[in-house]
Amino acid sequence: MRSLEVLLATVWLTSSVSAVRLPFHQLQKRTAKRGAVSFHGARSALTASTKGPPGTWQTLAATGATDIDLRTSRDLIYIADVTVSGTDYAVQLDTGSSDLWVHTTSGVRSVHTTGLQYNLTYGIGYAYGNIVTADVEFAGFELPRQALIDAVDASNPVLNLGAVGVLGLGFTGLSAIDSTVNGTGDSYGRSLLYNVFAQDASVPNFITFLLSRSNDPNAPVEGSFTISETDDDYTAVTNGVKVPTFPVEDPIRWCVLLDGFAADGKRFAVGTTVKKVASGKAVILLDSGTTFTYAPDTVVDAIYSELKGANFDYDLGQWVVPCDTEVQVSLYIGGQQYDLHPLDMVVPSTSDSKTCVGSFIPMSLPIAEGEFDWLIGVNVLRSFYSLYDFGDPVGKSQGIRPFVQLLQLRTALQASQDFHVVRGGEVPAAPANAAPADGGSTATPSQSGNTTSTDSGSDSTFTNISASVKESIGKLVDYMPAMLGVLGVNVAILLALFAAAVLWVVRRRNSKKRPSPLTLAGAEGGSLYKAVSTHDQDGRTTPMRQRSRSPLPASPLTGGPNSAAPLVQAPAPQYDSSSMPLRRPVMPAAAFDADRHSTAF
Residue-wise DSSP of 293-352: EEE-HHHHHHHHTTSTT-EEETTTTEEEE-TT----EEEEETTEEEEPPGGGTEEE-SS-
Buried b (16+ CB within 10 A) or exposed e, 324-336: ebbbbbbbbbbeb
64 with 173, same domain: the answer is: yes
323 with 218, same domain: the answer is: no
pLDDT of residue 509: 59
218 with 285, same domain: the answer is: no
**Number of other residues whose CB lies within 10 A of the CB of residue 76:** 26
3-state helix, strand, coil in the chain (%, to 5): 20, 25, 55
Which residues lie below 8 Å from residue 530, measured CB to CB, with a gap of 6+?
none
Residue 302's beta-bridge partner residues? none
Whether residue 582 lies inside any domain: the answer is no
187 with 246, same domain: the answer is: no
Whether residue 134 lies inside any domain: the answer is yes
How many residues in the chain?
Answer: 601
Whether residue 348 lies inside any domain: the answer is yes
pLDDT of residue 564: 37
Q: How far apart are the first and last CA of the chain?
A: 60
Please count the structural domains in the chain.
Answer: 2
Q: If we measure between CA atoms, which residue out of 324, 378, 357, 500 comes closest to residue 94? A: 378
Q: Is the peptide bond before 481 cis (omega within 30 degrees of 0)?
A: no
pLDDT of residue 176: 97
pLDDT of residue 507: 67
pLDDT of residue 538: 37
190 with 250, same domain: the answer is: no
141 with 243, same domain: the answer is: no
304 with 336, same domain: the answer is: yes
Question: Mean pLDDT in runs of 10 for the chain (601 residues)?
Answer: 35 28 25 49 25 29 34 74 96 96 94 96 89 96 97 94 95 97 97 94 91 62 83 95 96 97 96 94 96 96 96 94 96 98 92 87 74 95 97 64 97 94 81 45 37 34 37 59 73 80 66 38 34 37 36 36 35 36 39 36 34
Buried b (16+ CB within 10 A) or exposed e, 392-406: bbeeeeeeebbbbbb
pLDDT of residue 464: 35
State the DSSP code for 24. P
Q: Which of these three, 453, 476, 502, is where a domain ends?
A: 453
pLDDT of residue 366: 59
237 with 217, same domain: the answer is: no
Cα(234)–Cα(317) distance, integer angstroms: 37
Q: Which of these three, 154, 188, 223, is where a domain ends?
A: 223
Whether residue 437 lies inside any domain: the answer is yes
| SS3 state of residue 375 | strand
User: Backbone phi, then psi, for 44, in 5-degree steps?
Assistant: -70, -15
200 with 249, same domain: the answer is: no
Buried b (16+ CB within 10 A) or exposed e, 122-149: bbbbebbbbbbbbbbbbbbbebeebbbb
Whether residue 127 lies inside any domain: the answer is yes
User: Is the pTM for the entire model greater than 0.75?
Assistant: no
Whether residue 583 lies inside any domain: the answer is no
Q: Which of these three, 453, 471, 506, is where a domain ends?
A: 453
pLDDT of residue 124: 80
- Report CA torsion sign: 444, 450, 456, 462: negative
pLDDT of residue 506: 62
Residue 192's beta-bridge partner residues? none
Whether residue 247 lies inside any domain: the answer is yes
Whether residue 377 lies inside any domain: the answer is yes
203 with 243, same domain: the answer is: no
217 with 300, same domain: the answer is: no
123 with 35, same domain: the answer is: yes
State the DSSP code for 239. G
pLDDT of residue 351: 75
Residue 59 sits in a domain of what CATH number?
A: 2.40.70.10
| 249 in Cβ contact with 420 (< 8 Å) | no
Show the domain range for 273: 233-453
pLDDT of residue 593: 39
pLDDT of residue 383: 96
- The three state secondary structure string of 532-599 is CEEECCCCCEEEHHHCCCCCCCCCCCCCCCCCCCCCCCCCCCCCCCCCCCCCCCCCCHHHCCCCCCCC
